[in-house]
Structure 1
């Protein structure tokens, strides 16, 4: 080159490399991420020590509501007392005196005894099992359940056409004796005071 800007000598000016902007941007992003994680961790610690966490509290409340037994499930079912149940004791077997003996034992346990006799033709010598408990439709979950505690293996039947509140105990061939009184009493207690069943509540 000539003229006014001629370069002389053996030394030349060094050209500085352009700075890399990409490295600066990466460092800035990394710094921001570290600060963000640190801030989030701080908020979590504050939540723990100050009793925060509405979502956790809400979840716990819902779980408690889901396992709370409803009043209807916990309430004992109303059943009649033995003295309020009139029982007709009918012998369908060939063993004499069985109906009277069974009626006497039921009377000792508080039941009211009605007719004591042989079973009608439709049952006489036709009941191979322990026996049959027979009553009106309304007695299935009331009187027949209470009587069934004394006669655990008996079959329960209802007659929709039947009137009144009396129930029949038809003694079958396999009958030997009533359920032991202690076991019968425990069964009656279980019927009157069932275990509460956990149910979910929609209002939670």
Structure 2
């Protein structure tokens, strides 16, 4: 353009190529949007088809759980000796005289067989702080010691592997205040001899 017309300012009129670039940009955005939607839909389809397998696996794991053990219908017989079958040596580990004989007499009244009565050996003499200690062979831990323990519930129970014979010792300690009441001791003996249900093996349902 020439003559009297002059172009002023820092802006120039846009030409047609700029419009084409705008269309191309809009087309690119649309394509990206379509691809994004297609990708999202693909993921949803994958989850839809694989989710069933996961659910079935979880269901199978839930079904394959151990069932609680149930008591056996047939009670197990418990062989517990009677007091008349238990020989007890009554030994005094305290400084109180006559305690062993008095306790031995009471045990005899309750049906026990009494063996030796006297002072405790050096390993126990004046060294038992509790009510007492019951000592017997290894086999007595689940037989004669529980029977004798019914008469003195607070006594400690020990086994001696080199011990000879089936007799058990009742060693009286400083905390001894007497045998259990006879009614309580008889109730404990009855519970020891009562049949007990045995739990059945745990089963799994799959």
- DSSP 3-state at the match of 2:133: strand
What is the CA distance between 1:198 and its match in structure 2? 4.2
Do the aligned partners of 2:71 and 2:197 also contact (CA within 8 Å) in 1?
no
TM-score by length of structure 1 reads: 0.63
Q: Does 1:182 align with 2:183?
A: yes
**2:130 maps to which residue?**
129
Do the aligned partners of 1:69 and 1:200 also contact (CA within 8 Å) in 2?
no
Distance 2:71 2:191 in 1: 21
**2:197 maps to which residue?**
196
Give 1:30-179 correspondences, 5 Å limit.
67-69=70-72, 71=74, 74-179=75-180
What is the CA distance between 1:195 and its match in structure 2? 3.9
TM-score by length of structure 2 reads: 0.63
Superposed CA RMSD in Å reads 2.1
Task: Point out where structure 1 has 5 or more consecutive residues left out of the alignment.
Answer: 1-62
- In the TM superposition, what whole-angstrom CA distance separates every residue of 1:75-133 from its partner, at most 9, and x where no partner exists? 23101111111100000000010000000000000000000001011100000000000
- DSSP 3-state at the match of 2:142: coil
Distance 2:85 2:99 in 1: 23
What is the CA distance between 1:194 and its match in structure 2? 4.6
Query: Between Structure 1 and Structure 2, how many residues are aligned?
Result: 138
- In the TM superposition, what whole-angstrom CA distance separates every residue of 1:26-73 from its partner, at most 9, and x where no partner exists? xxxxxxxxxxxxxxxxxxxxxxxxxxxxxxxxxxxxx9xx635153xx
Task: Point out where structure 2 has 5 or more consecutive residues left out of the alignment.
Answer: 1-66
Do the aligned partners of 1:70 and 1:199 also contact (CA within 8 Å) in 2?
no
- DSSP 3-state at the match of 1:67: coil
**2:53 maps to which residue?**
none
- DSSP 3-state at the match of 1:185: helix
CA change 1:94–1:75 in 2 (3 A) is same
